[in-house]
Amino acid sequence: MSTTSPLTPPLRPTAALFAFARDIKLAHSVFALPFALASAWLVSRIQAVSWSQVGWIVVAMVGARSSAMGFNRIVDRRIDAANPRTRDREIPSGRLPLGMAWAVTLFATVIFAGAAWMLNPLCLALSPVALLVLWGYSLTKRFTALCHLVLGLALGLAPIAVWIGLTGTVGASALVLGGAVTTWVAGFDVLYSLQDREFDTKIGLRSLPVALGEAGALVASALLHLCTVALLFLLPTTALLAWPYLVGVGIITAVLVYEHWLIRPGDLSRLDRAFFALNGWISLGFLAAVLVASL
């Protein structure tokens, strides 16, 4: 299947770069970045953390996500072209040339590796493992309904990688944070994939909505988010956090409950609101709760 359209002229290089940023939804780095920064903040309570290290963490996060999303858009371009929901994305529509997409994706990969090297040699040595998970997610829906957990792991590695990057070790707090992010992302990815259930079933892609149906997928998502809440409440057992943290997690729990209330079997009309707005506030709210509780 062709990924270009004779009716849509390719963009110029500069415009193509901006198109790539739009296509990978660069602004959605907000989902995992606050958890990575929270991990850095917790490390700063036991050892010195410089502003330059924080800067390299941000660069590494943005580079890693851009690389992963670029690869996703490239390998899924034919699937996206066949899906009415995604056929207008930059690569399937022909506005973003495939070569340009590869160039920017590889550039983002180099940026990620460079930032990892600036943190410490162990971080650089482990960066291929992170890339294996980040890129590998895009292929998992072709053979397993548990692809959502792989995506969750890809983002859940962020607070763990930050801890390694700053200390050279893995702390209990990082593992708890990583687990919370993994189940949180997997849970909302299950919700997001509901809108493609019929299409995925038709062409043979795997997902929990395909395997369990709409109602079953909603239950699976709720159970994953229940694990998220449990892990967030567990965090104070690994790091000294005052009572405002528990208040913050209570609010996050209420937001997650509201998110699931918005989406009903047979009615996905409020899915975008639940996915984008609410989850963005959850990650930012978590960082705020950690900061306030440890000042």
From first to last of its 295 residues, what are the pLDDT tens digits of the chain? 444 444 455 556 666 666 666 666 655 666 788 999 999 999 999 999 999 999 999 999 999 999 999 999 999 999 999 999 889 888 888 888 888 889 889 999 999 999 999 998 989 999 999 999 999 999 999 999 999 999 999 999 999 999 999 998 999 999 999 999 999 999 999 998 998 999 999 999 999 999 999 999 999 999 999 999 999 999 999 998 999 999 999 999 999 999 998 887 777 777 776 667 788 889 999 999 999 998 7
Model pLDDT, residue 15: 66
DSSP string, 106-163: HHHHHHHHHHHHHH-HHHHHHHHHHHHHHHHHHHHTTT-TTHHHHHHHHHHHHHHHHH
Angle in degrees, CA 224, 256, 177, rounded to 5: 55
Count of helix runs (H) and strand runs (E) in the chain: 14, 0
Q: What is the reported pLDDT for 245?
A: 96
Q: Which residues contact 126 (CB under 8 A, 6 or more apart)?
A: 116, 161, 164
pLDDT, position 269: 75
Q: Which pLDDT does position 26 carry in this prediction? A: 59
- Identify the CATH homologous superfamily for domain 13-293: UbiA prenyltransferase (1.10.357.140)
Cα dihedral 68, 74, 75, 81 sign:
positive
Whole-angstrom Cα distance, residue 10 to residue 73? Answer: 16
